[in-house]
Amino acid sequence: MAIQLYAHPFSSYCQKVLIALYENATPFEWRLLAPENPQAMAELEARWPFRRFPLLLDGERAVSESSIIIEYLQQHYPGASRLLPEDADSALEVRFMDRCFDLYVSTPMTACVFDQLRPAGQRDAYGVAQAHELLETAYRWLDEKMAGREWAAAASFSLADCAAAPALFYADWVRPIGDEFASLRAYRQRLLARPSFARAVDEARPYRHLFPLGAPERD
């Protein structure tokens, strides 16, 4: 039986795992989390009461959290594309950059999106301003980090790049990456050109109307 992925194609953290699956052409079964498929959401909640996704189901073993899922895939379903280096120090750098993209790019980006989904009288202007400030700090730091690098943390495409692709993709919609961050903008374009991420982006196109801040007419 193929592994199953409880996910939605427009979710950044789901895309992160999809990139890893597509990098190694790992077969899996979609369990689409959508209103028209309530059974999948009920199954997700039964296995993971926090109802966060993606969730990977391998037989009776449920694996949650995108970074852990990708490490699980490498251990149990390895392919030609190794997403965590064998060298321990190199792997540590990959994990560090993975956390940076999740915590300092995805988290503030998501805060801005979720704030827009609140009723108008319950929005948090101060929190949104803080999120934008954090994104700007992240852009500046990442631009310096990416100068002279092709990929985020290793000589080849890695877990860190799986995290970076959807994080930077959506963050640029929330707070455009300025022209002054040329290295970071070029890196985002390389990620968009990566076949595994390009596939994830294309699969999510039908859902762009769901982006509450308005999806830009690009990418």
Task: Show the domains of the chain with their CATH numbers.
Answer: 88-194 (1.20.1050.10)
d(CA 84, CA 67): 11
- In which region does residue 65 sit, left (phi positive, over 0), alpha (psi from -120 to 50) or beta (all else)? left
pLDDT computed for residue 2 by the predictor: 87
Q: The pTM is what?
A: 0.96
- Tokens for 116? 């827009």
pLDDT band, residue 155 (cuts 50/70/90): confident
Query: Is pLDDT of 130 > 80?
Result: yes
Contact status, residue 19 vs residue 43, Cβ threshold 8 Å: no
Q: What is the pLDDT of residues 79-118, one digit of tens each?
A: 999 999 999 999 999 999 999 999 999 999 999 999 999 9
- To the nearest 10°, the Cα dihedral for 172, 176, 180, 181? -10
Mean pLDDT across 123-151: 97
Average pLDDT, the chain: 96
The neighbour count for residue 175, using CB atoms within 10 Å, is: 18
pLDDT computed for residue 141 by the predictor: 98
- Tokens for 109? 């980006």
Strand order of the β-sheet with 28-32 is: 28-32, 3-7, 55-58, 61-64
Query: Is pLDDT of 1 > 80?
Result: no
pLDDT computed for residue 44 by the predictor: 97
